[in-house]
A and B are shown apart, each in its own frame.
Chain A
Amino acid sequence: MLFNTYTYALYLPLVFLLYLALPLRGRQAMLLAASYVFYCWETPVYGTLLLISTVLDYSCGLIMARCVGRAARRIVLTASICGNLGLLGFFKYGDFFAGNFAGLGRLLGFDTHWEPMGFILPVGISFYTFQTMSYTIQLYRRQIEPCRDLLSFALFVSFFPQLVAGPIERASHLLPQLQVYHHVKLHDLASGATRIVFGLFRKMVLADRFSIIVDRVFANPEDFPTFTVWIGVLAFWGQIYFDFAGYADIAIGSARLFGIRLTENFRRPLLSRSIADFWARWHITLTSWLRDYLFNPMGGFRKGAVRTAAHGVVVLVLCGLWHGAAWHFVLWGAYEALLLVGYYSWRGLRRKLLGRRKQKDNMPLLIGSVALVFACHSLAAVFFRAPDMSVARRMFRCMLGRHAAAGLPNEWIVWIYTALLLTWLVIEFMQEYMGLNERIRRLPWRLRAFGMGLLIVVITITATNLTAPYIYFQF
């Protein structure tokens, strides 16, 4: 079930009303059932995978609790990780790895015949697999107590607002919230509903409108002038941000209705001042997962510059692969890693030359660095969006002015998209540096309610007719 559908618009209030009426155990059972219905709405069979993942990690957790020695706990942890990554590997990467091995075999002269298995990727598998893995890892590190209540644990794995595209929650944060009775408060209701409306605006008005130009440009870049191709690339960066952040808004808002607070996943990443700053603002729950469970155990920043850079490259390439089983995602990860290594090298050099003096903030420098980071990530977006490497190559050729249609853009719509993107950047800038949110909060509440009503009308009349799935569902 998608968030941007009428079905969800009916489903959520129904679940909420039932939630209000039930005691704690009833709520847990009802939310679990609601989560499975939500997940299995389109393809019921993949509910089985969710169940397997739940049972596997629940059992591992109980066994680990009985283990005394570190070695025994490590064996259980390994079993859990192998099971989770096995599921992920088989359904998500099976075809990719088998196809590449077969190709390699043919290159080496072996007769390797291979047919794709053709599984449809179970929605959200990367998200809930990482979430359940975080449970066993936290348990192994003795950061949490094992969950002995299967109902709570099953709900932790499948809680529907964040099931299919995050935020990837830690057991230490979400599980305790699911185990207590929440008195639904007016404040939660109001802020949850507001968050949902903002999420719908970002998804249906901004992301889906951007998708129109993006789809056209990436389908036939040669048909457009260079400027339009660039706008298409920048628009994709906008699209993926609004799409994913819109999803996160709706997820957080929906959970808030039940009194549950999910982790924030975005912190205005379009305004990142550096590459490192970007990774602290973008898809925060994934990057913190990778940092805590991959980068830091590998040595983190502690093993010298060269090894740190190598760890960064490995983590970001794997991050690319997490997004999709294709070489262009690997390249995207490698490109991001290069940017990050380049940034840290430059920062190190600057510190050597200028010392640790804090640089003074000034507006032109700020705007310049934001624009530079934005442009660097927009280039990365080509790898991210292109369905394969040949399209990425064509896009880069057209962006460089080769093979693209000549002349200035003649469609007014290009200018509208440019203006829309810049407007949103200005809004986020005001939120970040001029306290726009606080100013809005200080407005009379009647005016804010009127504004919310208007925003809903704006969504109604400016959203596309598409019920487009979220981009991050495919991961």
Chain B
Amino acid sequence: MGFKSSSISRYCERLLKRQWTKGPLVPILTGMRKRFLVGAGIVLTVQLAFEIFARFALPEVPSCAEVSRNAYRFRAWPEYIAGLDGTENTATVVLLTNSQGYAGEFDHRRIYPAQLEELMCASRLGGHRHWEVLNWACDGMTSIELTLLAAYLETRSPDIVLAMTGYADYAAEHSGEKLLYCRSDVPRLATRPALLKRLPASYLRRHVGVEDFLTFLLRDRFALLRYREFVWSWLDPRFPGIHTAFYAPSINYRPWELRGRRILNPLRKSKLTPGDPVLTYREGSRQMLDDYLSLLARIRSRVIVIAQPIAVPPGDPRMAWQEAFMRDLRDLTSQKGLKLWDLSGALPSRDFMTSSHFLPANHERFAAMLHTRLSREFGDAL
């Protein structure tokens, strides 16, 4: 077996005679067709010039302290991590949560993460003068983003990590979705080699496709690709030219939908309709939960997994999924040595807007409840 070296060289000679001598490359290299080369050079130079311009012209991203400007709560990655390391006498809580903490229906000051921050600052919990609650809320295909955030937190050390979670985060319907379905640009994290290494193989198989990976990789590396949101944001009458460009880069930016008011109008009435939405916890869901909890277990901070409050009417099929989820959650958290707070039935269902979204009264209650529990749990240990 094996090729004779002479036959390989003969093949190479034939190959060179066929194309390379008559094709485009040799004439280009010998300067016979300078025009083509110079033309391509001009095209590339224009790209490069705009890339440099985009890199230096884009303004700084506002920190999460300025969230009042972020009416939609869509966050770009830099905004997520701003404030993570804290400053002197400031302690940080990272709240990994889903649409319940994202609470796009209400002003950010009326939702529980902001209220929790207020309570913690007022009580000077652990003797810290200032507490910062980073609301890392993800809306949509949450487990994809939350798992990435958990992997990222392994390298950082906030004081407390609260991982709020519910069965819908691991919906089997999301198990085949790829990174591009996420609404924030958190998936850019998946393109960083150090973080990519830490992700479980099952996660990579489920959510990381070629196109998704390339999209986020290029968007992460080239400012010009992020520039389009910035350019379009100038057409937005509310915040021309600033952070709209950044807080939702991976969303298809639809100026059509931005008419100077929120996309989601606040809902006043409770809307508990059985069977809506249909996100099922079944085969495949446990694996998604397992991946997330495994990464949480590797974080060096104080991590508490919280089964988030829900309101499901009796007899609703969601109850069965919730029960299966709770069984898996208890089982897996004890396996991995994670602390679990079961708050799934802690709030009155009358103040729920949907089965998992709160009305303002429950936001207030929940903030107070978390504050009390944190004080009791950690007290002066912080």
Contacts and interface: CB of A to CB of B under 8 A. Distances in A.
Interface string B10-39: 000011001110111101100001011011
B18 A23 contact: yes
B177 to A, nearest CB: 14
Contacts of B22: 183
Interface in A15-32: 20-23
Interface string A354-383: 000000000000000000000000000000
Interface stretch (B210-218, B266-274, B310-318, B359-367): B210-218
Interface stretch (A106-114, A294-302, A450-458): A450-458
Contacts of A462: 228, 231-232
Nearest to A23: B18
A195 to B, nearest CB: 15
Interface in A206-241: 212-213, 216
Contacts of B264: none
A463 interface: yes
Interface in A421-475: 445-446, 448-450, 452-454, 456-457, 460-467
B254 A460 contact: no
Given A5-B211, A446-B39, A463-B228, A186 B256 contact: no
B264 to A, nearest CB: 16
B19 A6 contact: no
A445 B35 contact: yes
A23 B12 CA distance: 11
Given A185-B24, A466-B252, A457 B46 contact: yes
Contacts of A10: 214
Size category of the binding interface on chain A = 35 or more
B19 A183 contact: yes
B27 A452 contact: no
A411 interface: yes
B224 interface: yes
A6 B222 CA distance: 14
Contacts of A413: 255-256
A185 B18 CA distance: 13
Nearest to A190: B36
A7 interface: yes
Given A452-B43, A467-B180, A186 B36 contact: yes
B42 A460 contact: no
A22 B12 CA distance: 10
B65 interface: no
A460 B228 contact: yes
Contact of B256 (A6, A213, A445): A213
A461 B231 contact: yes
B225 interface: yes
B42 A461 contact: no
Interface in A133-147: none
Contacts of A186: 24, 27-28, 33, 36
Interface string A178-193: 0001011110011000
Contacts of A21: 15, 19
Contacts of A412: 235
A313 B227 CA distance: 50
Interface string A142-172: 0000000000000000000000000000000
Nearest to A461: B228
Given A6-B215, A186-B36, A460-B224, A212 B254 contact: yes
A184 B25 CA distance: 10
Contacts of A185: 24
A464 B256 CA distance: 13
Contacts of A212: 252, 254, 256
Contacts of B204: none
A413 B253 CA distance: 13
5 contacts: A413-B255, A446-B39, A449-B39, A453-B46, A465-B229
Interface of B: 14-15, 18-20, 22-25, 27-28, 33, 35-36, 38-40, 42-47, 50, 180, 210-211, 214-215, 218, 224-225, 227-229, 231-232, 235, 249-257, 259
Interface of A: 5-7, 10, 20-23, 181, 183-186, 189-190, 212-213, 216, 411-413, 445-446, 448-450, 452-454, 456-457, 460-467
Given A186-B28, A460-B50, 19 more contacts: A5-B214, A6-B214, A7-B214, A23-B15, A183-B19, A186-B33, A189-B36, A411-B256, A452-B43, A453-B43, A454-B46, A460-B228, A461-B224, A461-B227, A462-B231, A464-B252, A464-B253, A465-B228, A467-B211
